[in-house]
Amino acid sequence: MTSTVLITGAGIGIGRSTAKAFGKAGNHVVATDILEKEGHSVVAEIKAAGGSAEFHRLDVRSTEQADAVVAAVEKAHGAIDTIVANAGIAHKVPLPQLTDEKWDYTFDIDLKGIFRVVRPALPAMKAAKKGSVIAVSSIMGVAYGWDEHVHYSAAKAGVVGLVRGLAVELAREGIRVNGIAPGYIRTAQLLSKEHSLGPDADKAGEFIPMGRIGEPEDIADVILFLASNAARYMTGQTVVVDGGLLVGRY
């Protein structure tokens, strides 16, 4: 029986690679994003490769949209088997400019946005006595502070706490909840000169023990593992995937 996997932020970057990885593995992929063109194109790619996929527009800031998308998917396919809560932003904002509104905007997407998508899917998962949630955090949420990204670091640290709390509450229901904390990964976010390392991001490879920044596929494959039966006794963990960066900085 085909598993149904819902992925937020599936149009670009880690989300896109994750959608393609799940599609290649024989799952039915529900790609969601606010980027409609990119969302439709990843679905087309999955289908062209012989996989099964559909696109739904979803802004994770909207409880109404999250509830509606989950309801539509469940009506068509039954309980969702896996949720990959990947949608996120990382806007550089120096402390003097970090208003309540900018703080709340990041938290609404990067932290509350995860809960909004997971919450409506839980009743059907509980009834099925199975399910897996993988939430995307960051090395900036588990080990590093990031100057001019205080709100982002705080939200991504919150993801770790959310993973732990959900894992404990849902374990007896047969639902596993884990997180993943990527290091420097070649995405539009990392390559943004305005908000992150910019076009010179590859230079970060000089201080990463493996000698390179990561590719989105490096994260997608670990997410695929966390969702699989191979990780059946694993819950409440946030796995760092960073090429050795955290253990290699002395």
pLDDT tens for 69-110 read: 999 999 999 999 999 999 999 999 999 999 999 999 999 999
Q: Is residue 201 domain-resident?
A: yes
Nearest residue to 90 (alpha-carbon basis) of 194, 18, 162? 194
Rounded to 5 degrees, what are φ and ψ at 8? -95, 150
Angle (CA) 147-239-166 rounded to 5° is 95
pLDDT digits (tens, 9 = 90+) for 152-199: 999 999 999 999 999 999 999 999 999 999 999 987 676 666 666 667
- pTM, 2 dp: 0.95
Rounded to 5 degrees, what are φ and ψ at 84? -110, 105
Q: Is residue 249 domain-resident?
A: no
Told to judge if 152 belongs to the known catalytic residues of this protein, a careful annotator would answer yes
pLDDT digits (tens, 9 = 90+) for 96-152: 999 999 999 999 999 999 999 999 999 999 999 999 999 999 999 999 998 999 999
pLDDT of residue 250: 57
Does the pLDDT at position 236 exceed 80? yes
Nearest residue to 99 (alpha-carbon basis) of 110, 87, 107, 109? 107
Given the structure tokens 């994003």, which residue do they identify? 33
Nearest residue to 81 (alpha-carbon basis) of 136, 30, 139, 19? 30
The number of domains in the chain is 1
pLDDT of residue 200: 72
pLDDT of residue 203: 83
Q: 249 by DSSP, 3-state: which?
A: coil
Share of the chain above pLDDT 90, in %: 89
The torsion angle over the Cα atoms of residues 73, 231, 220 and 241, rounded to 10 degrees, is: 140
Q: Is residue 250 domain-resident?
A: no
Catalytic residue among 152, 184, 233, 250: 152
pLDDT of residue 190: 61
Expressed as residue numbers, the domain containing 182 is 4-244
Q: Is residue 86 domain-resident?
A: yes
Q: Is residue 121 domain-resident?
A: yes
pLDDT digits (tens, 9 = 90+) for 8-53: 999 999 999 999 999 999 999 999 999 999 999 999 999 999 999 9
Q: Is residue 96 domain-resident?
A: yes
For 29, the enclosing helix (H) or strand (E) is: strand 28-33
Q: Is residue 97 domain-resident?
A: yes
Does the pLDDT at position 230 exceed 80? yes
Nearest residue to 248 (alpha-carbon basis) of 213, 214, 209, 211? 209
CATH number for the domain spanning 118: value is: 3.40.50.720
Given the structure tokens 């709390």, which residue do they identify? 165
Does the pLDDT at position 220 exceed 90? yes
Nearest residue to 146 (alpha-carbon basis) of 114, 108, 190, 109? 190
Contact in structure between 4 and 77 (CB atoms under 8 Å): yes
Radius of gyration of the chain (CA): 17
Q: Is residue 195 domain-resident?
A: yes
pLDDT of residue 198: 63
